[in-house]
Amino acid sequence: MASRKILLVDDSKTALLMERSMVERHSSYQCVTASNGLEAIEKAQSECPDIVVMDVVMPHMNGFEACKKMREQEKTRAIPIILVTTRGEENYIEAGFQSGCNDYITKPINGQEFLKLLQSYLGE
């Protein structure tokens, strides 16, 4: 079976590095990265990932806006989107689900839980 592709989106290079290392160390998933919401939409269109893991607070376009835009486009509408952020307040979580995300997790990320969540969305 072909390797699953994950689009990791975060403006923090450190966060991207940590997420990528968690994923690649414990799975055969292929990681593609983007550093803001606009880039995330472009990469989702061109790379056709199996899942998107996206930060909320980013420059140019935040994760909520990018999530809404992906839901509006035929090619990216059905891709599962997990929002990952330090913002755990109820209004942020609510806004995340209203923007169309499938799941919402807060940083710091627990590596094992993160992988289990990915696997559940990827049907593994």
List the domains of the chain with CATH numbers.
5-121 (3.40.50.2300)
Residue 53, C-beta contacts closer than 8 angstroms, at least 6 positions apart: 6, 7, 8, 9, 19, 82, 84, 118
β-bridge pairing 5-9 and 30-34: parallel
Residues 41-86: tens digit of each pLDDT: 999 999 999 999 999 999 999 999 999 999 999 999 999 999 998 9
Residues 79-116: tens digit of each pLDDT: 999 999 898 899 999 999 999 999 999 988 988 899 99
CA distances from 88 to 8, 122, 123 (A): 19, 25, 27
Q: Taking Cα atoms as reference points, which of 31, 24, 28 lies closest to residue 8?
A: 31
What is the pTM for the complete model shown?
Answer: 0.95
With beta carbons less than 8 A apart as the criterion, state whether 76 and 51 touch: no
Q: How confident is the model at residue 2 (pLDDT cuts 50, 70, 90)?
A: low
